[in-house]
Structure 1
């Protein structure tokens, strides 16, 4: 695509167990069908790195710290791993917690990933950089936000869903917006599995998101339901759709085989939703 606008994007929310790594891995894979993509795993737990079968890379002596700390003694080529999934990976490391501590005392410690990794390659070596963020605030999270400034926010059904989103905005996004533009490109209801013609947790999440304008405008089309459509669903006038990214065993099975969903099950019904998410990243926002 000749008119590509290079963009870095983070998958982020201050709540665990929402499938953040799964979303970011599969987003990177969809983008990689037509672009050069770098995937950056900033989570010290390394779920994405392990899910891609890069266990040895997680244990290596050379890692992100060698690129961003004061005694930088490595190049990106020393750390990045090529994968069969068609995108490159800057893996997590068993030393990332120590790297985070050292970033705390570093000059401009929150901008090191941007300055030394993302800025030099974005638009040149890679058209897109996808960052998997930790589920807690800190210097690694700050680095991902500063480097990307474009966010994908996964949310799962449950009483803490909206609370996790608000914490993310209040503790991460709003403070950063005092210094730079930060865009939430999409809010992604994830791991949905229940009917929405009944008062299930799925229904509550979707109604919550779709009835607040500032949230609804960031919902992909696969999760957008108007009040009129809810009324028609409740009256039985239309069959209830299956919005959001749905719970599928294939997601877990794919990572068990160390590949994204596209490579494990190329006919899976959720790939069209992941493709829309990739298009949102390319466009820089949701389009109705």
Structure 2
């Protein structure tokens, strides 16, 4: 590859370690699994000890990374340690080729889902996530929260108390975001100190000068007093700039995490994270370079504990 690893900006403060983060929205097809995987990988590239947990019962990431046997293994059952409190962490944690560790999904996540309840969603934090952070084995634990409406998804939100929310264009995705915010995030107990680290407009494809779903998503988020403060710099367009864009007085930007086929190709064809995949290429396209830069910014946001203008 002809370019060096992208640095988001000079980091003067020490990173805030000891964090768990759930990457999720309660709707499928929003790109959460690939985003979670690549954020975990970029944090590792930045020198951190990282654990990535796949809590998606579909096991897409697990199987794509080559852990099909673990996914099909009925003894790989997180219910044992999370609900019944027996077994060792090492039974469920696998090293990877990329200097981060991995807890694969398995067919037994359905058992975990059936044994969790609204009264027991704190068990994932108490019996699995928190001990690993408190003994400083990991700087960051990143969770693919499982999607859809489930006890596992709610447990991942509660165990992390930090979230990054991907949201693609479209009315159904907007409804999924509203459901996530109203039913889960706004209902988190005060003692969890729950925090949205970033909202990521994801899988953007359209030219935003035109009134289409991509434009509506980006403009609505940027104009929102509630949500605009969570947008990464690569998704921000100040309210006063929209008229300038429409009148041709400024170049049309390409905000948000753009749809990039190599994000999927890296996983589906080469069974590796995006950044590791493009490192194997002789050259890097402008689109791939921007994607990597945006993923690094999301890792930087986690290090800072949220979106910041510093």
Shorter-chain TM-score category? over 0.9
2:133 aligns to what?
Answer: 122
Residue 51 of structure 1 is aligned with which of 64, 77, 82? 64
Q: Does 1:243 align with 2:255?
A: yes
Q: What TM-score results when the alignment is normalised by the length of structure 1?
A: 0.94
* 2:53 aligned with 1:40: yes
The answer as to 2:300 corresponding to 1:286 is: no
3-state SS of paired residue (2:209) = coil
2:74 aligned with 1:63? no
Query: Deviations for 1:191-215, whole angstroms, at most 9, x for unmatched residues?
Result: 0011111112111100010010211
Report the 3-state secondary structure (helix = DSSP H, G, I; strand = E; otherwise coil) of the residue aligned with 2:20.
strand
Measure how far apart 1:15 and its partner are: 1.2
Q: 2:232 aligns with which of 217, 220, 223?
A: 220
TM-score by length of 2: 0.87
Q: Would you say 1:6 and 2:18 are equivalent positions?
A: yes
Partners of 1:65 and 1:93 in 2: CA distance:
11
1:241 Cα deviation from its structure 2 partner: 1.3
CA RMSD of aligned residues (A): 1.7
1:93 to 102, 106, 109: 106
**Equivalent pair of 2:163/2:198 in contact (CA under 8 Å):** yes
Q: 1:137 and 1:162 mapped to 2: Cα distance?
A: 15
Is 2:293 aligned against 1:272? Answer: yes
Moved over 6 A (4+): none
Cα distance in 2 for partners of 1:262, 1:3 equals 21
Structure 2: runs of 5 or more not aligned: 1-12
| Residues 1:184 and 1:4: Cα distance change in structure 2 (over 3 Å) | closer
* One of 142, 145, 148 as aligned partner of 2:157: 145
| 1:174 CA displacement | 1.8
Aligned residue pairs: how many? Answer: 285
CA distance in 2: counterparts of 1:87 and 1:228, whole angstroms: 42
Q: Secondary structure at the match of 2:53?
A: strand
Instruction: Determine the structure 1 residue equivalent to 2:7.
Output: none
Distance 1:159 1:137 in 2: 18
Q: CA deviation at 1:250?
A: 0.1
- Aligned residue among 110, 116, 124 for 1:103: 116
Q: Which residue of 1 aligns with 2:217?
A: 205
Q: What is the rounded CA distance, in whole Å, between the counterparts of 2:188 and 2:218 in structure 1? A: 28
- Residues 75-104 of structure 1: CA distance to partner in whole angstroms, max 9, x if unpaired? 111111111122111111111111211223
Distance 1:254 1:213, change over 3 A: same
- The worse-fitting range, judged by mean Cα deviation, of 141-150 and 24-33 is 141-150
